[in-house]
Amino acid sequence: MSDGTPVSELSRSDFLKLAGLSALIPLPGSVASVSARRIFTSLLSVFCLLLLPQVSLAKERRGEVTVSVSLNAPADAKRVDLWIPYPMSDENQEITGVSVRGNYSAMGVYREGKFGNNILHAEWNAPGSERTLTYTFRVGRKEVVTKKFPDKEAAIPEREFEKFLTSTSLGATGGAAKEYADKIIGDKKTTLAKAASIYDWIVENMYRDPGVKGCGLGEVDALLHKLGGKCADIHSVFVTLARAEGIPAREVFGIRMPKGKEGEITKSQHCWAEFYSPGYGWIVVDPADVRKAILEKKITLQEAQPLREYYFGAVDENRVAFGTGRDLRLNPPQQGKPLNYFMYPYAEADGKPLNEDLYGFNLGYTIAFREL
């Protein structure tokens, strides 16, 4: 698994090969003899490469993910419902080879209306001692690099991004968050400069708390005083502070691929964040992974500087994105209250939640990964 090392630069020799110029550089003992046409063609290749806005060197990773469920539900329940995050293909990942099997009564894939999250839903419509489901998919994931920042910014179309500018149940954009955000950004004027100030403040002041269960709940007011948490906590603070300053922002919820070729990832959920730069698009950030590296590698803030620079505008390829949004009403709708966020399976029996909490590790599911 990548530790967040920045995108590798082409070596001089690799660049020359890429440009078709390796033939122009004589090896020791060789005779340099090329035609004028060959020289012109090779120089033209270099010129064309230099005109490209960015040579993509994004790293990729491929693997297979299997979610196995043996649902812990009352045997006499007349109806049991299960919702599982269902990742889809986009510009950063390709999902193929989807397989779902089990002893359910009905199963389907649905889309939640407000944020467009995709959901695998299964139901069991009779009492039973065993309720099983196995969901497998293959994923090809690319490193995401969004670092070609614009020189000028347009106005933010607020109506278009309204849902990424408003408060959530655990992240109010007024009150303490607004006070903190105003102090953090100072006299910064542009979206990029404001977002960078918030990112820097989080990296310098927050910390990863390994004692927090799961990825954290993202209770922003409490976090502004405690300052410690995990990825959902840290990115909830980033998103709320950004929104408090009129910057569209959102969490992206997903799961990590393991460091090795295979392994269990039942508790490897991870989230990161994005903010919208007008005239450019969504820019990714992951200050939580900077703080994770500081804790686990026992390095200083100064020693983490390369990671700090990398994770403002990039995230590694070792993750699968599920979706976004807070306070979610699923599809089909759950009978329980809206979900804080949807990164873990959720289940109900006869309309009552089976999850002991947001993370639902009591439901009886495991998630495994193998590299392809």
pLDDT of residue 57: 64
pLDDT at 105: 98
What are the C-alpha distances in Å from 110 to residues 137, 318, 338?
16, 26, 17
Give every residue of the chain whose pLDDT is below 50, as ranges.
Answer: 1-56
The domain segmentation of the chain, as residue ranges, is: 12-51, 60-142+344-371, 144-316
Query: Side chain identity at 262, as an amino acid letter?
Result: E
DSSP result, 78-139: S-EEEEEE-----SSEEEEEEEEEES-SEEEEEE-TTT--EEEEEEE-S--S--EEEEEEEE
Is residue 365 classed as helix, strand or coil in its secondary structure?
Answer: strand
Q: Which residues have C-beta within 8 Å of that of residue 279, sequence separation ≥ 6? A: 150, 152, 153, 154
Q: Omega into 332 within 30° of 0, i.e. cis? A: yes
What does the alpha-carbon distance between residue 354 and residue 80 come to, in Å, rounded to a whole number? 9
In this structure, CATH architecture of domain 60-142+344-371: Sandwich (2.60)
Nearest-angstrom CA–CA distance, 63 and 265: 12
Q: Which amino acid is at 242?
A: A
pLDDT at 40: 43
CA distances to 73, 78, 175, 256 from 352, in Å = 11, 12, 34, 30
pLDDT for position 58: 73
Domain 144-316 top-level CATH class: alpha beta
The reported pLDDT for the residue numbered 151 is 84
